[in-house]
Amino acid sequence: MKFKDLIPWGTARGSVAVKHGDNDPFTALQRQINDVFNGFFRGFDMEPFWGGGIGFNPSVNVLETDKEITVTAELPGMDEHDLDVTLTKDMLSLKGQKKAEKEDKGTNYYHMERSYGSFVRSIPLPCEVDDAKVEAEFKKGILTIKLPKSPEAVKDTKKVQIKAG
Amino acid sequence: MADTVDIEKKEAQTTDGTEHTREVKVYHPAVDIVEKEKEILLTADMPGVDDKSIDITLDKNVLTIYGKVDPNVPQQYQASYVEYGIGDYRRSFTLSEEIDRQRIEATVKNGVLKLVLPKAEAAKAKKIEVRAA
């Protein structure tokens, strides 16, 4: 293993830190800390002063085939009007707010595992896409964005022949 | 404060000695449980699940929710980033005697399951007047 591989910020392509989902200890720790703070304010029947905005951070998958890139995000409880998707040359941004349902006074919480708040995710795209043909669909709490690769990007892939020695 | 803080999507445990019959992962959905005067509300985040793919069973005291998710991934793909696993959801809850089992209602919208568990008449809190003697 090279020394560079040990440095956590030297990873992958693009400028955005990659969250590793289920088993990344840092994400788990951050969520636990958020949960403690949110729970603290809820315990006093108050809204956190940042509006509960640090809780929700949707998970994103990016899959690539020969012709297109598919980005999916888990956004349960949101609808398409709460979402804002923007595309620049090499970056896809998802913005939105998941609102907490207002409950009446005098309710007791037994379990608080779901998270709310606003979020911004920027996803660096592995190659150029044809921005006229991008399609987004929101169904069953999952946002799916299909980004066909631009003709140049498809063409640029060259197969390198390996000669037998 | 609730003692459960694990809100990462984590895999559900199988009952001892049983195995999955399908080759899919099963996750534990994140759940909020709220008690109101007349009912208990249970909300579960289950993205990818709709009213047709959810199964709710009540066996004796155990309420089990099971949501099937269609993986729907393209063929021959290569994953650039993977932050969440795709799989079904399962979680079980033990109900106390105070729930009126006949009137449990469930709705699914945008990947969120809402269960309304009404309290039985007998279990509703009654205020007892104290008269001056």
- The pLDDT, as a whole number, for residue B98 is 82
Distance CA B130, CA B16 (A): 52
CB A34 within 8 A of CB A48: no
- A110: contact with B, CB 8 A cutoff: yes
Q: What are the structural domains of chain A?
A: 18-98+112-153 (2.60.40.790)
Q: How far is CA B84 from CA A14, A102, A119, B79, B110, in A?
A: 19, 28, 17, 12, 18
Tokens 């788990």 map to which residue?
A28
Distance CA B68, CA B35 (A): 27
Q: Which secondary-structure segment (H or E) carries A43?
A: helix A25-43
- The pLDDT, as a whole number, for residue B89 is 92
- A20: contact with B, CB 8 A cutoff: yes
| Average pLDDT of chain B to the nearest whole number | 81
Query: What class has domain B22-72+83-123?
Result: mainly beta
Using the predicted structure, report yes or no on whether residue B54 has a pLDDT greater than 70. yes
Alpha-carbon torsion A133, A139, A141, A142, what sign? Answer: negative
Distance CA A139, CA A142 (A): 5
- A111: contact with B, CB 8 A cutoff: yes
Query: Which pair of structure tokens corresponds to residue B2?
Result: 């609730």
Chains A & B: contacts with CB separation below 8 Å: 149
Query: Which pair of structure tokens corresponds to residue A99?
Result: 């609102």
Q: Which of B4, B6, B74 sits opposite A65 (nearest CB)?
A: B74
Using the predicted structure, report yes or no on whether residue B2 has a pLDDT greater than 60. no
* Tens of each residue's pLDDT in chain A, 165 residues: 555 555 444 333 333 334 444 456 776 787 777 767 666 655 555 545 544 444 678 889 998 888 889 999 999 988 888 899 999 888 899 999 887 776 656 677 777 778 888 888 899 888 888 888 999 999 999 999 999 988 887 777 677 889 887
Tokens 């208990």 map to which residue?
B40
- The pLDDT, as a whole number, for residue A23 is 56
- B85: contact with A, CB 8 A cutoff: yes
- The pLDDT, as a whole number, for residue B105 is 92
- The pLDDT, as a whole number, for residue B42 is 92
Taking only the tens place, the pLDDT of each residue in B10-53 is 677 666 556 666 677 888 898 988 888 888 899 999 999 998 99
High-pLDDT (> 90) share of chain B, %: 29
Span B60-88, average pLDDT: 85
Q: Lowest-confidence range among A135-139, A143-147, B73-77, B87-91?
A: B73-77
Give the closest residue to B40 by CA, choosing from B115, B111, B107, B97: B115
Report DSSP state, residue B99.
Answer: B
| Cβ separation B84–A75 shorter than 8 A | no
